[in-house]
Each structure stands twice: as C-alpha cells, then as structure tokens.
Structure 1
Amino acid sequence: MLKSVAVGGYKPFELGIFQPSHQGIPVIKETLRQKMIGMIEQGTEWFVSSGQSGVELWGLEVAEDLKKTAYPSLQTALLPPFIGWEEKWNEVEQEAFRKLFHEVDFCRYITDRPYESPAQLRVKNQFIVQHTSGMLLLYDEDHEGTPKYMLHAAKQQEQYPVVWVSPEDVAETERVLAEMAFDEWKVDEKN
C-alpha cells in the first residue's frame, strides 16, 4: 500500500502546452484524478509534489479538489526546492502555485534559500522520493523530458513503486470525455 505518493511528470512545454487554457490540461487532470481515486481507495493518504509547473502543479490541484469534494481525510504536501521557485513562470502558473501554497496541509521549502545551483533540483527529487512510499508519474521513457530526473531518483530507492500514467491513458480519457460530450449534445438536441 502506498500511503504517501509523489506526483511527477512533464512541464507544460514538454507536452506542447503553451497556454493555460489549452484543452489538454483538463484531460490530463481527469486522467490523474482517475488514477488518484484508485490509489486513495487502496489506502493512499498523502499526495506530495514540488509544485513544478505542469503535471506536478496540476496533480496537486486535483488532489486538493478530491480532498474538498470526496476524500476529506486526504492530505497534500507542497515541497518546493528553493525560495522563488515559481518566479519565472507565467502569471497564471504563479497564481496557481500561490493558491496551493496556502491550501495544502503541509508546505516547506526543501532548501530555505533562493536558487543557487542545479544541485538544489537534484536534492529536491531525492528528498521527495525518500519521504514518500511511491510515485504517480506521467512520463513516456521513449519521449525524454525533465521527469527523467525524478524517475532516476525513484530507481535509486530500493522497492519504490512507480504508478505510470501513459500517453495511452491520457488518450483514453480524451476519448471517453469526447463521447460524454457527444452524448450530452445529443440529449440537448432532443430537448
């Protein structure tokens, strides 16, 4: 049973997402939501993330929503690697980060100082993996990206399971959501 789960995955630009209104974001969030529900039903109590722009941020948003709507005992943690982690992001992502900063159950900077070197990012991955019992990762090893560093940290930890979110999982969610929208449209047409 995975009591505490790190959430990892691609940054927006690695997914071809350059606008906060991109239609792929709700699909990714719904895919994460379905995986998280399954994990919660099997005993997961915490979702943990550094809040990196993209899947990590969206995953914590989904966990917060699940906590508010269906799983009040669920807990969330935001562990940014350094002070000012979000300062170079666009305004929408900065606002989402600040909102989560105040909503999560636990928040702490891993290094309590501003950016100094890439070593802080390596420490972030190691710290999060060492303080969780498994990982939920949206990543395809055939399409390398920044999640490879989080995966590398996971592989260094003995008996650290990774629950994969594949491109096929996201495509299936997109198909189901499109069918649901079409069915709703047909119902509206009859009325």
Structure 2
Amino acid sequence: MNEIKRLYVTGYRDFELNIFKEDDAKIAIIKKVLKNRLVNYLEQGLEWVLVAGNLGTEYWAAEVVNELKSSYSKLQIATIYPFENFGEQWGEKNQVKRAYFKEKSDFVTATSYHPYKNPAQLRAHTQFLLSHTDGSLLLYDAEFPGKSGYFSDDAHKFSENKAYILEYITVDDLQNSVDYEE
C-alpha cells in the first residue's frame, strides 16, 4: 500500500443520513469508525487531513482530527473550500460549525476566490483535492447515492491513471461497528 501523507475525508452530509440533532447516536458511531480508520493511516505516516468544509462527515472528521492531535502532534488539518463565500447562507446553528472549520484548521483557503458562479468551480475543486492528496476516505455506499457520489465517480476515474487510494466506509461498516460492540 502506498504511503498516504495527505488524505481527503468526505462523505454524506448530515441531512443525507437523517441526522438533525447533535446528540444523535449515529454521530458517535460514525466518529468512532472515522477515528479507527484515521489512526490506521496515522500509524503509517499520515500528516494532513483535508476537508472541504461540508457539514456531516467532514465536520465530524474535523472534530476527530482535532481530538487526535493530542496524541499525534504532527497531524494537521486543512479546510479547502470550493469557493470564497462557501456556507455564508447557512443558518445560525451551522454558522457555528462553519466557524469551527476556520478556527480549528491549520490551513484554510478556497480553490476559487470568487463567490459561487457555476459548476466549473466545483469540478476545479474536486480536481484540486484529488491532485493534492494521496488518497480519500469516504463515508459512502453506492447503494445509497448522495452528493458524494460525484466525488466518488471522479476519484475512481482519477485513480485509473494515478496511484491513488480510495477507501470507503459503508453503511455495513457502520452497522458492523455497532454489532461488534454488542
């Protein structure tokens, strides 16, 4: 397996998982599985986790990374937004999460320094993330498509010509994590 120094973590948004409350038990399960996978990567040399500032998987991953920093001092997180004013239209509760990305990230930027204009900005963002990481970890299951399906498709095409690792956390993985505890 190729060494992964820079890993993009993404996946379902909170609403795609029917998670609407901060105390939903599903969040603890998702964070536990994310933490286990990230620790495996850290033990093999992971240095940077990249997220795009999306709510759901990316937010929970950012929380996990910030928890892991106490044990892995070289670990850093970058938030790379697809365009400059990403998330400005979110409600008050989600603005707190948007601020978390900015405050807790070691590096913050956008791939486009303009407000959203067209889908080309999102395609450029995806290409940037793929070309600046060694692999991706996706909370995604092809049987339950969502917004992350676009990234998954692009990452598969990208990996056909490059040494790029694509790892999935599926609904079954989450269920198995729960079953293992019982």
Instruction: Give me the TM-score of the superposition, normalised by structure 2.
Output: 0.90
State the structure with more CA Rg. Answer: 1
Give 1:176 shift. 4.6
Regions of 4+ moved over 6 Å:
none
For 2:40, give the aligned amino acid: G
1:20–1:92 contact (8 Å) kept in structure 2: no
Written as runs of structure 1 = structure 2, the 5 A alignment for 1:156-171 is 156-157=157-158, 158-171=162-175
Pairing 1:51-62 to 2, within 5 Å after superposition: 51-62=53-64
Deviations 1:32-58 (A, max 9, x none): 011100110011111001011111121
| Matching residue's letter, 2:174 | V
1:160 to partner: Cα distance: 1.3
Is this contact kept in 2: 1:86–1:94, CA < 8 A? Answer: yes
User: Displacement of 1:93 after TM fit?
Assistant: 2.7
Q: 1:36 is matched with which residue?
A: 38
Q: How many residues align?
A: 177
The answer for the alignment partner of 1:11 in structure 2 is: 13
Going by fraction, where is helix more abundant, 1 or 2?
1
Question: 1:54-76: per-residue Cα shift (whole Å, max 9, x none)?
Answer: 11121122112111x21111011
1:98-128 deviation line (CA, Å, top 9, x unaligned): 1221221111111112111122222211111
Query: 1:122·1:149 contact (CA, 8 Å) conserved in 2?
Result: no
**CA distance in 2: counterparts of 1:32 and 1:90, whole angstroms:** 26
Query: Deviations along 1:106-157, whole A, 9 cap, x unmatched?
Result: 1111111211112222221111111000001111011111111111221232
Instruction: Measure the CA separation in 1 of the matches of 2:88 and 2:76.
Output: 26
> Alignment RMSD, CA only?
1.5
Unaligned runs of 5+ in 1: 180-191
Letter aligned with residue 49 of structure 1: V
Name stretches of at least 5 consecutive residues in structure 2 with no aligned partner: none
Please give the residue correspondences for 1:16-27 in structure 2 after superposition, counting only pairs within 5 Å.
16-27=18-29
